[in-house]
Amino acid sequence: MRLLIPVAYGLESTLKRELSRLGYPSAPCLRGRALLEGDWSDVARLNVRLRTGERVLVGVGEFPARTFEELFEGARALPWEEFLTPHAAIRMDGKCAESALMAIKATGGVVKKAILSRLAERTGAARFDESGERAVVGVSLYRDVATLTLDCSGDGLHRRGYRVLAYEAPLRETTAAAIVFDSYYRPDRAFADPFCGSGTLAVEAALFARNIAPGGKRQFDFTRWRCVGDVLGRAREEAREEEYRGEIAPIYASDLSPAAVAIAKRHAAFAGVEKDIRFSCADVKDFAAAERGGVLVSNPPYGERMGRGDLFPLYRDFSRAYRRLQDWNCSFITACPDAERAFGRPDRRRVLYNANLRCTLYSYFPARERGR
């Protein structure tokens, strides 16, 4: 099967490296998604293991569609009965760009009618009560070519299940995992987040260090489809066998807000990594660590609620705390224009989005890390 993995803007290269690490070296990333070949075992494995991808989709078919008639006939020709029963609760998701058909709701309606027509013909069903398995069908029209997919994940892969309490401006878990992945963090290096908020970065670092599969405890839509066996159980068992249970370097998580630290502790407990993270309530200007060669990763305040004039001293204190550390890397994401003025020119910068807000990921490395 053709598998498609959407990824957030700016993180395509990170997803490609993660897929290579998982054993999928030939997975090009095009227009915000990775493409690869695989079977249902791969679908299960990717849903359980992926840290940076947003979903796992199965490509059902691709064909030219300049008119609604072409869209209907093309969709009707695809083998939907191999995936779905007549009781499937079909939901539509779509996007259109640079195409003759640009009405997203209308294109979704045409494709759903085509799917039901196909199921009626091939299964003999006379009625569709939508009481069964959920199936989210994606309709993507780009330059008059329709790509139809089935969403194997259901809820997005960022929904790990541990973040159950609300806190302001949290990073999406997949974005946090990508930032950790790109920071050169390893289990034998100390990790610190001095603006931990709800704890997402520290938890993702601990899951990474332990090689704990982020989707190991959650459910996925594809397991209820008619074509799938018990591949999820095997993927979970494989993931558990590869977890690391030895010693890891300290992971520090601190915040000036006691409420934030309390929430972060709860999230770490739900994720099963509370013993790996050392929490404290502290100001960033007081942060210090004795370890050499660690990784400082954070999502500091951006200033939407504080006003720009309040932020330069905060980033100056953050910069000074970082400069006191010995041979540490530093990566942080922010929309604050004062950040680079306080820290100086970064070794690497990348545009990312957090909650639809355009941000920059700044990275600073000791001389020995540059060029890796």
Q: Are 5 and 57 in contact (CB under 8 A)?
A: yes
Q: Is the pLDDT of residue 302 over 90?
A: no
Residues 202, 339 within the same domain: yes
Residues 81, 13 within the same domain: yes
Q: Is the pLDDT of residue 309 over 60?
A: no
Which whole-number Å values give the CA distances from 368 to 135, 293, 329, 347, in the listed order? 49, 10, 10, 12
Residues 306, 344 within the same domain: yes
Residues 38, 146 within the same domain: yes
Any residues with CB less than 8 A from the CB of 77 and at least 6 apart, and which?
Answer: 61, 63, 118
Tokens linked to 98: 């640079």
Percentage, residues of the chain above pLDDT 90: 85
Tokens 């970065």, residue located: 201
Q: Domain count of the chain?
A: 2
Any residues with CB less than 8 A from the CB of 76 and at least 6 apart, and which?
Answer: 114, 115, 117, 118
Identify the band that residue 371 occupies on the pLDDT scale cut at 50, 70 and 90: very low
Write down the pLDDT at residue 179: 97
Report the CATH number at residue 50. 3.30.2130.30
Residues 95, 201 within the same domain: no
The single-letter code of the amino acid at 362 is Y
Average pLDDT over residues 329-355: 93
Q: Does 220 reside within a domain? A: no
Residues 121, 13 within the same domain: yes
Cβ-in-10-Å burial (0-12, 13-18, 19+) of 184 comes to middle
Q: Does 28 reside within a domain? A: yes
Residues 199, 117 within the same domain: no
Average pLDDT over residues 89-108: 94
Residues 196, 111 within the same domain: no
Write down the pLDDT at residue 168: 77
Write down the pLDDT at residue 304: 56
pLDDT digits (tens, 9 = 90+) for 20-70: 999 999 898 887 899 999 999 999 999 999 999 999 999 999 999 999 999
Residues 6, 139 within the same domain: yes
Q: Does 41 reside within a domain? A: yes
**R_g (Cα) of the chain, nearest Å:** 23
In this structure, are strands 29-30 and 33-37 parallel, antiparallel, or unpaired? antiparallel
Report the CATH number at residue 260. 3.40.50.150
Residues 257, 118 within the same domain: no
Residues 78, 189 within the same domain: no
Residue numbers of the domain that contains 67: 2-151
Q: Does 369 reside within a domain? A: no
Q: Does 297 reside within a domain? A: yes
Reported as type and span, the H/E element at residue 343 is helix 338-343
Q: Does 343 reside within a domain? A: yes
Q: Does 201 reside within a domain? A: yes
Q: Are 163 and 171 in contact (CB under 8 A)?
A: no
Residues 94, 201 within the same domain: no
